[in-house]
Structure 1
Amino acid sequence: MYQPPQFRSTDPHHARTLIQAHPLACLVSTDDAGFPVVSHLPLHLQEDGGVQVLLGHCARANPHWRYLAARPEALATFMGPSAYLSPSVYPDLARVPSWNYLAVHCRVEARIIDEANGKDALLKALIAQHEPAYAAQWRALDEDYTSKMLRAIVAFELRVLDLQCTLKLNQHRPESHAALHAAYRAGGADAQALAQWMETLGMVPGHKD
C-alpha cells in the first residue's frame, strides 16, 4: 500500500481497532493461472504471544481455499470509514478536493483447517465477536445439521507476516483541522467516525478521546 509518511501509523492499537470494528476483509491471492482472486470475508483477529492471526472461512464451493492451500501467502485488506475532503476547509483557495480514509493491509500466510473440531472452534470465535447469544443456539442445533454445515465450509488461519496501517486525515495540513472536524461532525456516519479519529489522534484542540 502506498503510504506517505504523514499518514502511516505504527501504533498496533490503531490497526487492531480498525480490524475489529470493520472485520469484513478483502482476501486477495492468485488463482492457478496467476490472476488475482478476491473473496470478501469476515475475519477475526486473535493475538497470542505477540503473534497475530486472522481466522476465517469460505464455502467449500469457493475455489479460493484451494488457491490458499497451493500458495499460502496472501493479502488481507480492511477498509475503515472514509469521506470526501472538500477544499472549503482551507483558509486559502489554492486547494483541490481529496478523500480521507482509514485502511489496514496484512500480508499473511494461510493454514487450511478442514477438520470438524477446528472449524467448530473457529466458528465459535466468530460468533463470540459478532453475536455471543447465538452460541447457545449453535450448540443446540441437531448434530446432523451442524455436521452438514461444517462440511460445507473450509476454514483457515492467516498468520500476519507484515502489517501496514494508513490513517489519512489531512494530518499535514493543520490549518484545515478545525473546519474539517466541524464538517465531519455534521456529516454522515463515516464522516462522524473520521471526526472521532481526529479527536483520538489529538488533531483537534480542546477535544480529547
Structure 2
Amino acid sequence: MYKNSQFEEKDADKVLAFMKAHSFITLIGHDGEFPVVTQIPVHIYQDENGIRLVGHIMKKTDHHQAYAKNENVMALFTGAHSYVSASVYENPAVASTWNYSSVQCKGKIKLMNADETRAVIKHLTDSFEDPKSSPAAFHKMDDVYIENNLKAIVGFEIKVESINNVFKLSQNHSYQNRTNIAKDLAKSDNPDAQEVAKQMKKML
C-alpha cells in the first residue's frame, strides 16, 4: 500500500464507516505459489474483541482451497476514484494524479461448519429481504433447496489483525488547487469523479 501520512485517515470510526459503506470486498489469499482472489460481500462486526468480517464463498474453488491451507488473508475495501488533471492547478505544468480511497485489512480466516454457514446465509438474506413481506425471504425457501445449496458453500470469519488506509484527496495541495480540483471533478459525468469531489469539498 502507498503510505503517506498526509493521506492517512486517523479517525478509526471514519475508517470503519468507509468499510461498512464499501463492504463488497476483494478477498486475497495465497495458495503457496500464487495469490488467489475473489470478490464477496461481508458483514462487519466490532466488539470488545476487535473487528470481524463474515461472509461465505463457494467450495472447491482455488480461493477456498487456499484459505483452507493458509489462514492469512487480506480484505481490500475500495471506494470512489478519479483522474485529477493538473490543468486546473495554479501551476499546471506538473504531473497529473489520481485520487482514491482504500482500506486494507489483514487477518486470519476461519472456515465455518454447516450450521454456522446456514446462519451466515440466513443473516445475509434477511439483511436484504424483508422477512415479513418478501417472497424471497429465507424462511420461505424450501428446506431441501437450502440444504442442497449449503453443500456448495462455506461460511467464513476473518479476525482483523491490522488495518491500513489511504484516503488520497489532494491533501498535499494548496487550498486553491483543492478547490479547483473539486469543482472540475463535480462537472464530470463520471459518478466516481462526482463522489471524489463531494469527499474533497467536505475537507475544504
Counterpart position of 1:206: none
Q: CA RMSD in A?
A: 1.8
Displacement over 6 Å in runs of 4+: none
TM-score (ref. length: structure 2): 0.90
Distance 2:138 2:185 in 1: 41
Counterpart position of 2:120: 122
Please give the residue correspondences for 1:131-150 in structure 2 after superposition, counting only pairs within 5 Å.
Answer: 131-133=128-130, 137-150=137-150
The answer (yes or no) to whether the contact 2:125–2:138 under 8 Å persists in 1 is no
The answer (yes or no) to whether the contact 1:10–1:165 under 8 Å persists in 2 is no
TM-score (ref. length: structure 1): 0.88
Distance 2:186 2:96 in 1: 18
Unaligned runs of 5+ in 2: none
Distance 1:127 1:5 in 2: 39
User: Secondary structure of the equivalent of 1:173?
Assistant: coil
Q: 1:155 to 1:191 in 2, by over 3 A?
A: same
The superposition leaves residues 103-124 of structure 1 with CA deviations (integer Å, 9 ceiling, x where unpaired) of 0000011111022x31122123
The superposition leaves residues 29-48 of structure 1 with CA deviations (integer Å, 9 ceiling, x where unpaired) of 111x4211111112221112
The superposition leaves residues 87-113 of structure 1 with CA deviations (integer Å, 9 ceiling, x where unpaired) of 022111331111110000000111110
Distance 1:133 1:61 in 2: 31
Distance 2:183 2:131 in 1: 40
Q: 1:199 to 1:123 in 2, by over 3 A?
A: farther
Please give the residue correspondences for 1:163-178 in structure 2 after superposition, counting only pairs within 5 Å.
Answer: 163-174=163-174, 175-178=176-179
Counterpart position of 1:20: 20
Unaligned runs of 5+ in 1: 204-209
User: Secondary structure of the equivalent of 1:37?
Assistant: strand
Counterpart position of 1:207: none
1:35 equivalent in alignment to 2:37: no
Please give the residue correspondences for 1:69-108 in structure 2 after superposition, counting only pairs within 5 Å.
Answer: 69-108=68-107
Find the partner of 1:195 among 194, 197, 200.
197
Identity %: 28
How many correspondences in the alignment?
199
